[in-house]
Structures are given as C-alpha cells and as structure tokens.
Structure 1
Amino acid sequence: MKVTIVCVGKLKEQYWRGAVEEYSKRLGRYMKLEVTELLDEKAPETMSPAQEDEVRQKEGLRILKAVKDDAFAVALAIEGKSLSSEALADFMAERAVRGVSHMVFIIGGSLGLSPEVMERADFSLSFSPMTFPHQMMRVILLEQIYRAVKINRKEPYHK
C-alpha cells in the first residue's frame, strides 16, 4: 500500500525533521511513503471568524489539490473516531484487503480543516480530544503507522 501524509506547514526544528526522517526510513521497508508539505497561510494572531474561515478555505484548496481522486482519505480531526493502535492496524489491513492501494492521511493547519476537506475525507480519525502542535502530530502519526505495520506483520515493537 502507498501511504501519503498531506500536511500544512513545514517542519522548522531539526528534531522534528529527524524524527520524521527516522520513521520514514523505517516505513520505507514496508510501503511506499510520501510526505507532502503544503504552504500554510500567513495569519495574524487575532482574527475574526470570517478571516479564520478564509485561511481554512485557502489551505483546504491546497489540500484537495494534493489528494488524488482514487486515494482513501483519512482526515485527522479532534471530532473524528478514536482508535487504539491495534484498531488502527486492523483498519489499515481491512482497507488493503478491500482493494485500497493508496491511503492519504491529512493534517490541517493551525485552524483545522475546511468543511470541503472534511467532506472529501472517507474517514475522520482523532488521536485525542487534546490539541497537538502540527509538527508533533506528524511524528505521532508516522509512529502509529509504523506501529500498525509491525502489529499487522506480527513483528516485535508494539509491546
């Protein structure tokens, strides 16, 4: 299966880039992995709700352009469904059995995902009701995908 992570914003700190590189290297043995970084909208600290919507819309358009029509899209959103690591492994394995050959995980910008991106998503996944920095979320997501692969292959790591 090919997995693409579509994310808004670049990793600025070397420690985040190092962690992404490490998990990307590990996952490269099991799948074709692609990380697509999209430009985030510059936004002032305080914005009106209309300005926030405009930022989400602009970032959403970039996300939708990056998600292929035939990909199974998973949006990361607080209001999504929570899964254990084992359930995520089952979820990914079930999709592969059903013929999904390309899964895209979407991490939005600091204001979240636009309604259009949420409508495009085939599944909405929540890692927690808490908010995480988007840079950290990318690392957590890659680690959980790696953990799912190891669980499905019955290889040691996840215990």
Structure 2
Amino acid sequence: MKHLLLTVGKPKQTYLAQGIDDYLARLKPYGGGSLVGVRPAKLGPKTPDESAKAEEGQRLLARLDQRDLVWALEIKGKAWSSLQWAKALEKARLSGRSRLVLVIGGALGLDPAVARRADQLVSFGPPTLAHELAALVAAEQLYRACTILAGLPYHRA
C-alpha cells in the first residue's frame, strides 16, 4: 500500500521537512511514502476563515481519488495509540485499496467537506499542533505502525 501525506502547504522549517523526508524514506520497504502540499489560501484581514478553509478544502479534495482510503487529521477525531495505528493500518492493507492518504489541514484547520470525505478522523489528542508538526508526527506514527506490523524492534510498547 502506498502512503501519501496530503497537506496544506509544505513545511517551511528545514528541521521539519528533513524529519518528514526521513520517515517517508523509511516507508520504502512498506509501499513507499510521499508528501504533497496544496497551495494555502491567502489570508488577509478581509478573508473570512471559513472561506479560506473551503478554498484549501477544495484543493485537497481535488488531489484525492475516489478509491483512496483517507484518514483526516482532525481535532474532533479519535486519538489512537501507536498499537491502534498499527491495527488500523493492517485493516487498511486488507481493504483492497492501493493508497492510504493522511490529510492535514492548514493553519485554520480542516474544511468540513474534507472531514466528510474521510474514512477515519484521527486526532493527536487535545493539544493543537502546528500543521507542519502534525505532518511530522503523522509520518512517524505511520512508520511506527509499519514496524509494529513487521515485528521490528523500533517500537517498544
């Protein structure tokens, strides 16, 4: 199964971009991983937040195929332990779909239309994370789930 991190924008901080790239490279033996960023909405004093989120949401939705399995990172989602990530990934692999897409909204959050398209809503818990940091955590958890399923010692419960 291929893995895609679909985000609003790309990481601006070098250390975050390097961390994401590192974990995506580690996914090569497990189907590979890539990062695609859509253009963020231009935010200004007269731009309503909801309209900016809707614009970003349309860009995200345009990158999805109807056959994709989509997990949206959303504060209202369910917080998974690493073992739950692994179980969900195992189920995803058995779904017959060829691509798992983890969608991460921008600075304003995720458009409701994207959340409705998602097969799962996943949260990293109550704290709000910067979307670039959320992408790094998502890449690491995806890699960790793969190593759990492969029985490798990366993860210690």
Q: TM-score, normalised by structure 1?
A: 0.93
In structure 2, the residue matched to 1:14 is: 14
Distance 1:140 1:119 in 2: 23
Counterparts of 1:68 and 1:56, CA distance in 2 = 20
Question: Is 1:119 aligned with 2:119?
Answer: no
Query: Which of 89, 93, 118 does residue 92 from structure 1 map onto?
Result: 89
Percent identity between the two aligned chains: 33
1:66 lines up with 2:29 in the alignment: no
Partner of 1:25: 25
* Pair 1:133 & 2:130 matched: yes
Is the Cα contact below 8 Å between 2:7 and 2:104 reproduced in 1? yes
Partners of 2:143 and 2:35 in 1: CA distance: 14
Instruction: Tell me how far apart the structure 1 counterparts of residues 137 and 101 of structure 2 sit (CA, whole Å).
Output: 15
Structure 1 residue 100 displacement after superposition:
2.6
Q: Distance in 2 between matches of 1:47 and 1:7?
A: 24
CA distance in 2, matches of 1:141, 1:74: 10
Structure 1 runs not aligned, ≥5 long: none
Gaps of 5+ in 2: none
Q: Which runs of 4+ in 1 moved over 3 A?
A: none
Is 1:108 matched with 2:99? no
Deviation string for 1:91-124 (max 9, x for gaps)?
1101212323211110001111112111111110
The total of aligned residue pairs comes to 156
Secondary structure of the structure 2 residue equivalent to 1:76: strand
RMSD: 1.3
Could you tell me which residue of structure 1 aligns to residue 50 of structure 2? 53
TM-aligned CA deviation for residue 11 of structure 1: 1.2
Tell me how far 1:47 sits from its aligned partner.
6.2
